[in-house]
Structure 1
Amino acid sequence: MLRKYDYYDRSKLLVSYDYNKKLLPNTGRPVEQLRYSKIIGSHMYVMSCTRPDIAFVVGMLSRFTSNPGKLHWDVVQRLMRYLKGTTDIWQVVAKPGDSWMWKQLIRTRDKAMALCGGENNLKLLISSCCKNSKLRISAIYNALLHSTNEVQWTKVVWGRLNIPKHSFISCLVFQDRLLTKDRLYRRGIINSNLCSLCDGACSESRNHLFFECAFSCEVWNSIMDWMDFNWRACHWHHVLEWFTVRQRGKGLKQLLKNLALTATIYYIWRERNVRIFQQKYRSTTQLIREIETDIWITILNNPLAR
Protein backbone atom coordinates (compact mmCIF):
# COMPACT_ATOMS: atom_id res chain seq x y z
CA MET A 1 0.00 0.00 0.00
CA LEU A 2 2.87 2.39 0.77
CA ARG A 3 4.32 1.84 -2.71
CA LYS A 4 0.93 2.09 -4.37
CA TYR A 5 0.29 5.58 -3.00
CA ASP A 6 3.95 6.76 -3.23
CA TYR A 7 4.61 6.92 0.50
CA TYR A 8 7.28 4.24 0.72
CA ASP A 9 10.19 6.70 0.61
CA ARG A 10 8.81 8.97 3.32
CA SER A 11 10.46 9.18 6.75
CA LYS A 12 9.26 6.93 9.55
CA LEU A 13 7.10 7.78 12.57
CA LEU A 14 6.33 5.74 15.66
CA VAL A 15 3.16 7.63 16.70
CA SER A 16 0.11 7.40 14.45
CA TYR A 17 -1.78 10.53 15.56
CA ASP A 18 -1.21 13.80 17.36
CA TYR A 19 -3.91 13.71 20.02
CA ASN A 20 -3.52 17.44 20.69
CA LYS A 21 -5.11 18.18 17.31
CA LYS A 22 -8.85 18.05 16.72
CA LEU A 23 -10.15 17.12 13.28
CA LEU A 24 -12.91 19.44 12.08
CA PRO A 25 -15.01 19.35 8.88
CA ASN A 26 -13.55 21.10 5.85
CA THR A 27 -15.45 24.29 5.00
CA GLY A 28 -13.71 24.87 1.68
CA ARG A 29 -13.38 22.91 -1.51
CA PRO A 30 -12.46 19.20 -1.19
CA VAL A 31 -8.79 18.33 -1.74
CA GLU A 32 -8.28 15.23 -3.94
CA GLN A 33 -11.47 13.63 -2.70
CA LEU A 34 -11.26 10.51 -4.91
CA ARG A 35 -7.65 9.74 -3.94
CA TYR A 36 -8.51 10.35 -0.29
CA SER A 37 -11.41 7.86 -0.49
CA LYS A 38 -9.19 5.19 -2.05
CA ILE A 39 -6.52 5.61 0.62
CA ILE A 40 -9.07 5.39 3.43
CA GLY A 41 -10.54 2.25 1.85
CA SER A 42 -7.08 0.68 1.72
CA HIS A 43 -6.47 1.61 5.34
CA MET A 44 -9.74 -0.03 6.34
CA TYR A 45 -8.68 -3.25 4.65
CA VAL A 46 -5.27 -3.19 6.38
CA MET A 47 -6.93 -2.35 9.69
CA SER A 48 -9.34 -5.29 9.52
CA CYS A 49 -6.70 -7.80 8.40
CA THR A 50 -3.45 -7.09 10.21
CA ARG A 51 -3.33 -3.67 11.89
CA PRO A 52 -6.13 -3.10 14.41
CA ASP A 53 -3.86 -0.52 16.10
CA ILE A 54 -4.82 2.08 13.47
CA ALA A 55 -8.57 1.59 13.93
CA PHE A 56 -9.06 4.80 15.93
CA VAL A 57 -7.30 7.05 13.41
CA VAL A 58 -8.91 5.40 10.38
CA GLY A 59 -12.32 5.73 12.01
CA MET A 60 -11.78 9.47 12.48
CA LEU A 61 -10.48 10.03 8.97
CA SER A 62 -13.35 8.10 7.38
CA ARG A 63 -15.83 10.72 8.65
CA PHE A 64 -14.45 13.28 6.21
CA THR A 65 -14.34 11.15 3.05
CA SER A 66 -16.87 13.34 1.21
CA ASN A 67 -14.97 16.62 1.75
CA PRO A 68 -11.34 16.19 2.90
CA GLY A 69 -9.18 19.22 3.56
CA LYS A 70 -5.48 19.91 4.06
CA LEU A 71 -5.65 19.08 7.77
CA HIS A 72 -7.14 15.65 6.98
CA TRP A 73 -4.42 15.01 4.41
CA ASP A 74 -1.76 15.86 7.00
CA VAL A 75 -3.17 13.14 9.27
CA VAL A 76 -3.28 10.66 6.36
CA GLN A 77 0.38 11.35 5.60
CA ARG A 78 1.28 10.96 9.26
CA LEU A 79 -0.56 7.63 9.34
CA MET A 80 1.32 6.45 6.26
CA ARG A 81 4.65 7.37 7.89
CA TYR A 82 3.54 5.48 11.02
CA LEU A 83 2.83 2.36 8.95
CA LYS A 84 6.26 2.75 7.34
CA GLY A 85 7.89 2.93 10.77
CA THR A 86 6.07 -0.12 12.13
CA THR A 87 6.14 -2.52 9.18
CA ASP A 88 8.18 -5.06 11.17
CA ILE A 89 5.57 -6.70 13.37
CA TRP A 90 8.28 -8.38 15.43
CA GLN A 91 9.62 -5.06 16.69
CA VAL A 92 6.34 -3.22 17.38
CA VAL A 93 5.75 -2.26 21.02
CA ALA A 94 2.24 -1.65 22.35
CA LYS A 95 1.58 1.91 23.51
CA PRO A 96 -0.84 3.12 26.22
CA GLY A 97 -3.22 4.62 23.65
CA ASP A 98 -3.49 1.48 21.50
CA SER A 99 -6.69 -0.55 21.30
CA TRP A 100 -7.28 -3.53 23.60
CA MET A 101 -7.24 -5.93 20.64
CA TRP A 102 -3.86 -4.69 19.43
CA LYS A 103 -2.37 -4.99 22.92
CA GLN A 104 -3.65 -8.56 23.12
CA LEU A 105 -2.04 -9.40 19.76
CA ILE A 106 1.30 -7.97 20.89
CA ARG A 107 1.06 -9.84 24.19
CA THR A 108 0.29 -13.09 22.35
CA ARG A 109 3.25 -12.51 20.02
CA ASP A 110 5.58 -12.01 22.99
CA LYS A 111 4.32 -15.18 24.69
CA ALA A 112 4.79 -17.19 21.49
CA MET A 113 8.32 -15.85 21.10
CA ALA A 114 9.10 -16.80 24.70
CA LEU A 115 7.74 -20.31 24.17
CA CYS A 116 9.79 -20.81 21.00
CA GLY A 117 12.97 -19.27 22.34
CA GLY A 118 13.14 -16.18 20.17
CA GLU A 119 11.93 -14.46 17.02
CA ASN A 120 13.83 -16.64 14.56
CA ASN A 121 12.54 -19.88 16.06
CA LEU A 122 8.96 -18.60 15.95
CA LYS A 123 9.36 -17.63 12.29
CA LEU A 124 10.67 -21.11 11.50
CA LEU A 125 7.71 -22.67 13.34
CA ILE A 126 5.22 -20.52 11.39
CA SER A 127 6.92 -21.45 8.10
CA SER A 128 6.66 -25.15 8.97
CA CYS A 129 2.91 -24.75 9.56
CA CYS A 130 2.24 -23.58 6.01
CA LYS A 131 0.77 -25.89 3.40
CA ASN A 132 0.42 -24.83 -0.24
CA SER A 133 1.32 -21.25 0.80
CA LYS A 134 -1.54 -21.21 3.30
CA LEU A 135 -1.03 -20.88 7.03
CA ARG A 136 -2.73 -23.58 9.11
CA ILE A 137 -3.81 -22.12 12.45
CA SER A 138 -4.50 -25.60 13.88
CA ALA A 139 -0.91 -26.63 13.14
CA ILE A 140 0.44 -23.58 15.00
CA TYR A 141 -1.86 -24.29 17.95
CA ASN A 142 -0.72 -27.90 18.18
CA ALA A 143 2.93 -26.86 17.86
CA LEU A 144 2.68 -24.31 20.69
CA LEU A 145 0.52 -26.51 22.92
CA HIS A 146 2.46 -28.17 25.68
CA SER A 147 2.19 -31.96 25.65
CA THR A 148 0.51 -33.17 28.83
CA ASN A 149 -0.41 -36.57 30.14
CA GLU A 150 -4.08 -37.41 30.42
CA VAL A 151 -5.23 -37.70 34.03
CA GLN A 152 -6.51 -41.09 35.12
CA TRP A 153 -10.01 -39.88 35.97
CA THR A 154 -10.80 -38.32 32.55
CA LYS A 155 -13.01 -41.18 31.36
CA VAL A 156 -14.75 -41.36 34.74
CA VAL A 157 -15.76 -37.70 34.70
CA TRP A 158 -16.42 -37.33 30.97
CA GLY A 159 -18.00 -40.72 30.33
CA ARG A 160 -20.26 -41.11 27.32
CA LEU A 161 -23.39 -41.51 29.48
CA ASN A 162 -22.56 -38.67 31.87
CA ILE A 163 -24.70 -35.55 31.95
CA PRO A 164 -22.56 -32.47 31.11
CA LYS A 165 -23.46 -30.42 34.19
CA HIS A 166 -22.69 -33.46 36.37
CA SER A 167 -19.33 -33.86 34.64
CA PHE A 168 -18.45 -30.20 35.11
CA ILE A 169 -19.03 -30.24 38.88
CA SER A 170 -17.30 -33.61 39.17
CA CYS A 171 -14.28 -32.26 37.31
CA LEU A 172 -13.95 -29.51 39.91
CA VAL A 173 -14.30 -32.08 42.69
CA PHE A 174 -11.60 -34.36 41.26
CA GLN A 175 -9.27 -31.34 41.02
CA ASP A 176 -10.30 -30.09 44.48
CA ARG A 177 -11.33 -26.75 43.02
CA LEU A 178 -14.79 -26.38 44.59
CA LEU A 179 -15.22 -23.37 46.86
CA THR A 180 -16.02 -25.40 49.94
CA LYS A 181 -16.40 -23.67 53.31
CA ASP A 182 -12.96 -24.62 54.56
CA ARG A 183 -11.36 -22.77 51.63
CA LEU A 184 -13.62 -19.72 52.01
CA TYR A 185 -12.92 -19.68 55.76
CA ARG A 186 -9.16 -19.69 55.20
CA ARG A 187 -9.55 -16.71 52.86
CA GLY A 188 -11.53 -14.80 55.47
CA ILE A 189 -14.69 -14.65 53.35
CA ILE A 190 -16.97 -16.48 55.82
CA ASN A 191 -16.95 -16.83 59.61
CA SER A 192 -17.85 -20.53 59.88
CA ASN A 193 -16.64 -23.62 58.05
CA LEU A 194 -19.12 -26.10 59.52
CA CYS A 195 -20.91 -28.50 57.17
CA SER A 196 -24.49 -27.64 56.21
CA LEU A 197 -25.47 -31.25 55.48
CA CYS A 198 -24.68 -32.85 58.84
CA ASP A 199 -25.86 -29.97 61.05
CA GLY A 200 -22.42 -28.52 61.71
CA ALA A 201 -20.86 -31.66 63.13
CA CYS A 202 -17.65 -31.29 61.09
CA SER A 203 -15.69 -28.86 58.95
CA GLU A 204 -16.84 -28.79 55.31
CA SER A 205 -14.13 -29.89 52.90
CA ARG A 206 -14.02 -31.79 49.62
CA ASN A 207 -13.28 -35.10 51.35
CA HIS A 208 -15.94 -34.50 53.96
CA LEU A 209 -18.68 -33.75 51.45
CA PHE A 210 -17.74 -36.76 49.28
CA PHE A 211 -18.58 -38.90 51.21
CA GLU A 212 -17.48 -38.78 54.85
CA CYS A 213 -20.43 -36.59 55.86
CA ALA A 214 -23.23 -38.66 57.47
CA PHE A 215 -25.79 -37.23 55.03
CA SER A 216 -23.76 -37.79 51.84
CA CYS A 217 -22.53 -41.18 53.11
CA GLU A 218 -26.11 -42.40 53.43
CA VAL A 219 -26.96 -41.13 49.94
CA TRP A 220 -23.86 -42.71 48.35
CA ASN A 221 -24.34 -46.03 50.14
CA SER A 222 -27.95 -46.18 48.93
CA ILE A 223 -26.90 -45.47 45.33
CA MET A 224 -24.19 -48.16 45.55
CA ASP A 225 -26.80 -50.64 46.85
CA TRP A 226 -29.23 -49.67 44.11
CA MET A 227 -26.53 -50.06 41.44
CA ASP A 228 -25.47 -53.39 43.00
CA PHE A 229 -21.82 -52.38 43.52
CA ASN A 230 -19.60 -55.22 44.73
CA TRP A 231 -17.62 -52.89 47.00
CA ARG A 232 -18.30 -50.09 49.48
CA ALA A 233 -16.25 -46.99 50.13
CA CYS A 234 -17.16 -43.57 51.54
CA HIS A 235 -13.67 -42.08 51.79
CA TRP A 236 -12.78 -39.93 48.80
CA HIS A 237 -9.32 -41.36 48.19
CA HIS A 238 -10.71 -44.92 48.22
CA VAL A 239 -13.47 -43.94 45.79
CA LEU A 240 -10.93 -42.19 43.57
CA GLU A 241 -8.60 -45.21 43.57
CA TRP A 242 -11.39 -47.66 42.75
CA PHE A 243 -12.80 -45.67 39.83
CA THR A 244 -9.44 -44.70 38.32
CA VAL A 245 -7.28 -47.76 39.04
CA ARG A 246 -9.25 -50.81 40.05
CA GLN A 247 -12.29 -50.47 37.81
CA ARG A 248 -11.78 -52.64 34.72
CA GLY A 249 -13.42 -52.68 31.31
CA LYS A 250 -15.10 -50.13 29.08
CA GLY A 251 -18.57 -51.63 28.79
CA LEU A 252 -22.02 -50.45 29.77
CA LYS A 253 -21.61 -51.51 33.39
CA GLN A 254 -18.61 -49.22 33.85
CA LEU A 255 -20.39 -46.34 32.10
CA LEU A 256 -23.35 -46.69 34.46
CA LYS A 257 -21.07 -46.65 37.49
CA ASN A 258 -19.44 -43.45 36.24
CA LEU A 259 -22.88 -41.96 35.68
CA ALA A 260 -23.95 -42.90 39.22
CA LEU A 261 -20.85 -41.29 40.77
CA THR A 262 -21.05 -38.01 38.87
CA ALA A 263 -24.82 -37.72 39.42
CA THR A 264 -24.41 -38.29 43.17
CA ILE A 265 -21.62 -35.71 43.38
CA TYR A 266 -23.73 -33.16 41.51
CA TYR A 267 -26.87 -33.58 43.63
CA ILE A 268 -24.98 -33.52 46.93
CA TRP A 269 -23.27 -30.27 45.90
CA ARG A 270 -26.58 -28.81 44.77
CA GLU A 271 -28.28 -29.81 48.02
CA ARG A 272 -25.49 -28.11 49.95
CA ASN A 273 -25.98 -24.87 47.94
CA VAL A 274 -29.77 -24.95 48.28
CA ARG A 275 -29.49 -25.26 52.06
CA ILE A 276 -27.04 -22.34 52.28
CA PHE A 277 -28.62 -19.90 49.83
CA GLN A 278 -32.32 -20.81 49.87
CA GLN A 279 -32.72 -22.37 53.32
CA LYS A 280 -34.53 -25.36 51.81
CA TYR A 281 -33.90 -28.87 53.11
CA ARG A 282 -34.52 -32.26 51.57
CA SER A 283 -34.17 -35.64 53.21
CA THR A 284 -31.76 -38.31 52.03
CA THR A 285 -34.74 -40.29 50.69
CA GLN A 286 -35.84 -37.40 48.46
CA LEU A 287 -32.33 -36.83 47.19
CA ILE A 288 -31.77 -40.54 46.46
CA ARG A 289 -35.04 -40.70 44.53
CA GLU A 290 -34.04 -37.69 42.43
CA ILE A 291 -30.64 -39.21 41.61
CA GLU A 292 -32.22 -42.53 40.64
CA THR A 293 -34.76 -40.74 38.44
CA ASP A 294 -32.01 -38.82 36.67
CA ILE A 295 -30.07 -42.03 36.04
CA TRP A 296 -33.18 -43.81 34.72
CA ILE A 297 -34.01 -40.93 32.36
CA THR A 298 -30.45 -40.96 31.01
CA ILE A 299 -30.56 -44.72 30.46
CA LEU A 300 -33.91 -44.64 28.69
CA ASN A 301 -32.98 -41.73 26.40
CA ASN A 302 -29.41 -42.69 25.50
CA PRO A 303 -28.90 -45.29 22.75
CA LEU A 304 -25.59 -46.33 24.34
CA ALA A 305 -27.49 -47.76 27.31
CA ARG A 306 -29.94 -49.84 25.28
Structure 2
Amino acid sequence: MAGIIDLDAEEAPKPRILVISLEYLESFDDLINVFLTPMLDLALVQRVKKAATLTRLLIKEDAEPYSALVLTDAALTLPENLALWEQCLAYMRRTGATAVLTGQVASFGLPEDLDDFFRVSGLSDWKCGNYRRDIVVLNPTADGIRDAKHFNLSDKNGLKAAYNVKSLCLSGVKIEHRWYVPDLSEVGDGMGIAALLAQGIKGWDPETAGRQAAVAYGPVGEKGRIGWVGDVNNEPPSVKVILALCGLDPAKANIANFEVRQPSGPAAMRWDAGEGRFVKV
Protein backbone atom coordinates (compact mmCIF):
# COMPACT_ATOMS: atom_id res chain seq x y z
CA MET A 1 0.00 0.00 0.00
CA ALA A 2 1.38 3.39 -1.01
CA GLY A 3 2.52 5.66 1.82
CA ILE A 4 3.21 2.85 4.30
CA ILE A 5 6.85 2.14 5.06
CA ASP A 6 7.73 -1.52 5.36
CA LEU A 7 10.11 -1.52 8.31
CA ASP A 8 10.99 -5.17 7.75
CA ALA A 9 12.37 -4.29 4.33
CA GLU A 10 14.52 -1.40 5.51
CA GLU A 11 18.20 -1.79 6.18
CA ALA A 12 19.45 -1.45 9.73
CA PRO A 13 20.33 2.16 10.59
CA LYS A 14 23.97 3.10 10.15
CA PRO A 15 26.06 3.67 13.28
CA ARG A 16 26.74 7.30 14.23
CA ILE A 17 30.40 8.26 14.57
CA LEU A 18 31.80 11.53 15.88
CA VAL A 19 35.20 12.57 14.55
CA ILE A 20 37.03 14.88 16.97
CA SER A 21 39.63 17.18 15.37
CA LEU A 22 40.32 19.94 17.89
CA GLU A 23 43.73 20.66 16.34
CA TYR A 24 42.43 20.45 12.79
CA LEU A 25 44.92 21.34 10.10
CA GLU A 26 44.02 21.14 6.43
CA SER A 27 47.46 19.88 5.44
CA PHE A 28 46.76 16.66 7.35
CA ASP A 29 43.55 15.93 5.44
CA ASP A 30 45.24 13.37 3.18
CA LEU A 31 46.27 11.34 6.22
CA ILE A 32 42.86 11.50 7.88
CA ASN A 33 40.76 11.01 4.75
CA VAL A 34 42.38 7.62 4.20
CA PHE A 35 40.01 6.23 6.83
CA LEU A 36 37.26 8.88 6.77
CA THR A 37 36.40 8.21 3.12
CA PRO A 38 35.57 4.49 3.53
CA MET A 39 33.95 5.25 6.89
CA LEU A 40 31.42 7.52 5.17
CA ASP A 41 30.09 4.53 3.21
CA LEU A 42 29.42 2.54 6.37
CA ALA A 43 28.33 5.08 8.98
CA LEU A 44 26.77 8.47 9.61
CA VAL A 45 29.82 10.60 10.33
CA GLN A 46 29.94 14.02 11.97
CA ARG A 47 33.02 16.09 12.72
CA VAL A 48 33.71 18.58 15.49
CA LYS A 49 36.62 21.03 15.64
CA LYS A 50 35.68 23.21 18.63
CA ALA A 51 35.74 22.25 22.30
CA ALA A 52 32.48 24.08 23.05
CA THR A 53 30.66 22.14 20.34
CA LEU A 54 32.09 18.87 21.61
CA THR A 55 30.89 19.62 25.15
CA ARG A 56 27.40 20.40 23.87
CA LEU A 57 27.23 17.10 21.98
CA LEU A 58 28.50 15.07 24.93
CA ILE A 59 25.94 16.35 27.41
CA LYS A 60 22.97 16.07 25.04
CA GLU A 61 21.26 12.98 26.43
CA ASP A 62 18.19 12.95 24.18
CA ALA A 63 20.17 12.43 20.96
CA GLU A 64 20.91 9.08 19.35
CA PRO A 65 24.27 8.09 20.87
CA TYR A 66 27.47 7.83 18.90
CA SER A 67 28.93 4.35 18.67
CA ALA A 68 32.45 5.73 18.36
CA LEU A 69 34.45 8.89 19.05
CA VAL A 70 37.42 9.08 16.68
CA LEU A 71 40.31 11.27 17.86
CA THR A 72 42.34 12.40 14.85
CA ASP A 73 44.88 14.50 16.76
CA ALA A 74 46.52 14.69 20.17
CA ALA A 75 44.55 17.69 21.50
CA LEU A 76 42.64 15.72 24.15
CA THR A 77 45.87 14.21 25.48
CA LEU A 78 47.19 17.65 26.49
CA PRO A 79 47.11 18.38 30.25
CA GLU A 80 44.94 21.47 29.75
CA ASN A 81 42.33 19.37 27.94
CA LEU A 82 42.07 16.41 30.33
CA ALA A 83 38.89 17.85 31.88
CA LEU A 84 37.30 17.76 28.43
CA TRP A 85 38.55 14.21 27.93
CA GLU A 86 36.91 13.26 31.23
CA GLN A 87 33.62 14.47 29.73
CA CYS A 88 34.26 12.07 26.86
CA LEU A 89 34.93 9.28 29.35
CA ALA A 90 31.65 9.98 31.13
CA TYR A 91 29.86 9.81 27.78
CA MET A 92 31.55 6.50 26.94
CA ARG A 93 30.64 4.97 30.29
CA ARG A 94 27.03 6.08 29.86
CA THR A 95 26.50 5.10 26.22
CA GLY A 96 29.00 2.30 25.63
CA ALA A 97 30.82 4.26 22.93
CA THR A 98 34.38 3.44 21.89
CA ALA A 99 37.03 6.16 21.61
CA VAL A 100 39.50 5.37 18.83
CA LEU A 101 42.89 7.11 18.94
CA THR A 102 44.40 7.32 15.48
CA GLY A 103 45.47 9.84 12.86
CA GLN A 104 48.10 12.16 14.32
CA VAL A 105 47.82 10.94 17.92
CA ALA A 106 50.71 8.47 17.73
CA SER A 107 52.89 11.00 15.91
CA PHE A 108 52.29 14.08 18.05
CA GLY A 109 51.20 12.79 21.45
CA LEU A 110 53.96 13.26 24.03
CA PRO A 111 54.79 10.18 26.14
CA GLU A 112 54.11 11.88 29.48
CA ASP A 113 50.83 13.31 28.18
CA LEU A 114 49.70 9.93 26.86
CA ASP A 115 50.60 8.28 30.16
CA ASP A 116 48.38 10.77 32.04
CA PHE A 117 45.67 10.38 29.41
CA PHE A 118 45.50 6.63 29.96
CA ARG A 119 45.76 7.04 33.73
CA VAL A 120 42.61 9.19 33.93
CA SER A 121 40.96 6.67 31.60
CA GLY A 122 41.47 3.90 34.16
CA LEU A 123 44.24 2.24 32.15
CA SER A 124 47.24 3.34 34.21
CA ASP A 125 49.37 0.38 33.05
CA TRP A 126 49.25 1.57 29.44
CA LYS A 127 52.49 3.39 28.59
CA CYS A 128 54.26 4.48 25.44
CA GLY A 129 56.35 1.59 24.16
CA ASN A 130 58.51 0.92 21.11
CA TYR A 131 58.38 3.12 18.02
CA ARG A 132 59.57 1.06 15.08
CA ARG A 133 58.58 -0.78 11.92
CA ASP A 134 57.56 -4.37 12.56
CA ILE A 135 55.52 -7.22 11.27
CA VAL A 136 52.49 -7.18 13.56
CA VAL A 137 50.25 -10.20 13.99
CA LEU A 138 46.62 -10.51 14.97
CA ASN A 139 45.65 -11.88 18.37
CA PRO A 140 42.44 -13.81 17.59
CA THR A 141 41.67 -14.35 21.28
CA ALA A 142 41.57 -10.63 22.15
CA ASP A 143 38.45 -8.95 23.50
CA GLY A 144 36.50 -7.41 20.65
CA ILE A 145 37.92 -9.91 18.15
CA ARG A 146 37.06 -13.21 19.80
CA ASP A 147 33.49 -12.05 20.47
CA ALA A 148 33.00 -9.70 17.49
CA LYS A 149 29.54 -9.65 15.93
CA HIS A 150 30.07 -6.93 13.32
CA PHE A 151 32.80 -8.68 11.33
CA ASN A 152 33.92 -12.18 10.44
CA LEU A 153 37.53 -12.96 11.28
CA SER A 154 37.70 -15.58 8.53
CA ASP A 155 36.68 -13.10 5.81
CA LYS A 156 39.72 -12.64 3.55
CA ASN A 157 38.68 -9.02 2.90
CA GLY A 158 38.57 -8.23 6.61
CA LEU A 159 41.33 -7.85 9.19
CA LYS A 160 44.76 -9.03 8.10
CA ALA A 161 46.41 -11.90 9.98
CA ALA A 162 49.72 -10.03 9.77
CA TYR A 163 51.15 -6.95 8.09
CA ASN A 164 54.15 -4.63 8.06
CA VAL A 165 53.65 -1.29 9.80
CA LYS A 166 55.54 1.59 11.40
CA SER A 167 53.82 2.30 14.70
CA LEU A 168 54.06 3.55 18.24
CA CYS A 169 53.29 0.54 20.41
CA LEU A 170 51.92 0.57 23.94
CA SER A 171 53.41 -1.42 26.79
CA GLY A 172 51.59 -2.65 29.88
CA VAL A 173 48.58 -3.83 27.87
CA LYS A 174 47.00 -7.07 29.05
CA ILE A 175 47.13 -9.87 26.50
CA GLU A 176 43.34 -9.91 26.14
CA HIS A 177 43.44 -6.21 25.19
CA ARG A 178 46.12 -6.54 22.48
CA TRP A 179 44.63 -6.76 18.99
CA TYR A 180 47.96 -6.71 17.15
CA VAL A 181 51.39 -7.47 18.59
CA PRO A 182 54.88 -7.21 17.04
CA ASP A 183 56.24 -10.43 15.59
CA LEU A 184 59.45 -10.91 17.56
CA SER A 185 60.05 -14.48 16.47
CA GLU A 186 63.48 -15.49 15.27
CA VAL A 187 62.24 -17.83 12.58
CA GLY A 188 63.45 -17.10 9.05
CA ASP A 189 63.12 -13.45 8.06
CA GLY A 190 60.97 -12.46 11.03
CA MET A 191 57.77 -13.70 9.43
CA GLY A 192 57.72 -16.87 11.51
CA ILE A 193 54.46 -16.25 13.35
CA ALA A 194 52.91 -14.65 10.28
CA ALA A 195 53.76 -17.79 8.32
CA LEU A 196 52.14 -19.92 11.01
CA LEU A 197 49.06 -17.72 10.84
CA ALA A 198 48.88 -18.24 7.09
CA GLN A 199 48.69 -21.97 7.78
CA GLY A 200 46.18 -21.54 10.59
CA ILE A 201 46.01 -19.97 14.03
CA LYS A 202 45.46 -23.19 15.96
CA GLY A 203 47.96 -23.55 18.76
CA TRP A 204 49.40 -20.05 18.34
CA ASP A 205 50.34 -18.41 21.63
CA PRO A 206 50.22 -14.61 21.19
CA GLU A 207 52.11 -14.10 24.45
CA THR A 208 55.27 -15.35 22.75
CA ALA A 209 54.94 -12.72 20.03
CA GLY A 210 55.94 -9.86 22.30
CA ARG A 211 54.59 -7.77 25.13
CA GLN A 212 53.90 -4.63 23.10
CA ALA A 213 50.60 -3.70 21.44
CA ALA A 214 50.51 -1.96 18.07
CA VAL A 215 46.72 -1.99 18.37
CA ALA A 216 44.99 -2.10 21.75
CA TYR A 217 41.37 -2.25 22.88
CA GLY A 218 40.65 -1.73 26.57
CA PRO A 219 37.70 -1.07 28.87
CA VAL A 220 36.36 2.23 30.18
CA GLY A 221 34.00 1.39 33.00
CA GLU A 222 31.54 -1.40 32.33
CA LYS A 223 30.36 -0.25 28.89
CA GLY A 224 32.89 2.04 27.22
CA ARG A 225 36.06 1.14 25.34
CA ILE A 226 39.29 2.76 24.13
CA GLY A 227 40.98 1.67 20.93
CA TRP A 228 44.59 2.57 20.13
CA VAL A 229 46.02 2.39 16.60
CA GLY A 230 49.73 3.20 16.67
CA ASP A 231 50.23 3.24 12.89
CA VAL A 232 51.67 6.66 12.01
CA ASN A 233 50.93 6.31 8.28
CA ASN A 234 47.35 4.94 8.27
CA GLU A 235 48.28 2.10 5.94
CA PRO A 236 45.38 0.13 4.38
CA PRO A 237 45.42 -2.81 6.85
CA SER A 238 45.34 -0.30 9.72
CA VAL A 239 42.40 1.49 8.13
CA LYS A 240 40.50 -1.80 8.35
CA VAL A 241 41.47 -1.97 12.03
CA ILE A 242 40.18 1.57 12.64
CA LEU A 243 36.85 0.69 11.05
CA ALA A 244 36.56 -2.50 13.09
CA LEU A 245 37.27 -0.60 16.32
CA CYS A 246 34.46 1.78 15.34
CA GLY A 247 32.03 -1.13 15.14
CA LEU A 248 32.05 -1.37 11.34
CA ASP A 249 32.71 -4.35 9.08
CA PRO A 250 36.16 -3.84 7.52
CA ALA A 251 35.39 -6.36 4.78
CA LYS A 252 32.77 -3.99 3.36
CA ALA A 253 35.12 -1.04 3.10
CA ASN A 254 36.48 0.29 -0.17
CA ILE A 255 40.00 1.28 0.83
CA ALA A 256 42.38 3.02 -1.53
CA ASN A 257 45.95 1.75 -1.48
CA PHE A 258 48.16 4.78 -1.91
CA GLU A 259 51.03 6.53 -0.20
CA VAL A 260 49.96 9.33 2.11
CA ARG A 261 51.74 12.66 1.87
CA GLN A 262 52.51 13.87 5.38
CA PRO A 263 53.59 17.33 6.52
CA SER A 264 57.05 17.33 8.03
CA GLY A 265 58.17 19.04 11.19
CA PRO A 266 61.43 19.26 13.10
CA ALA A 267 62.21 16.75 15.82
CA ALA A 268 61.33 17.61 19.43
CA MET A 269 58.55 19.91 18.26
CA ARG A 270 54.78 19.63 18.04
CA TRP A 271 52.15 21.39 15.96
CA ASP A 272 50.38 24.24 17.77
CA ALA A 273 47.03 24.77 16.05
CA GLY A 274 46.44 28.08 17.82
CA GLU A 275 49.71 29.58 16.57
CA GLY A 276 49.59 27.74 13.26
CA ARG A 277 53.19 26.54 13.48
CA PHE A 278 55.48 23.94 15.05
CA VAL A 279 56.64 24.87 18.55
CA LYS A 280 59.33 23.40 20.77
CA VAL A 281 58.27 20.92 23.45
TM-score by length of 1: 0.22
Q: Which structure is higher in RCO with an 8 Å CA cutoff and minimum separation 6?
A: 2
Give the TM-score, by structure 2 length. 0.24
Question: Whose helix proportion is higher, 1 or 2?
Answer: 1
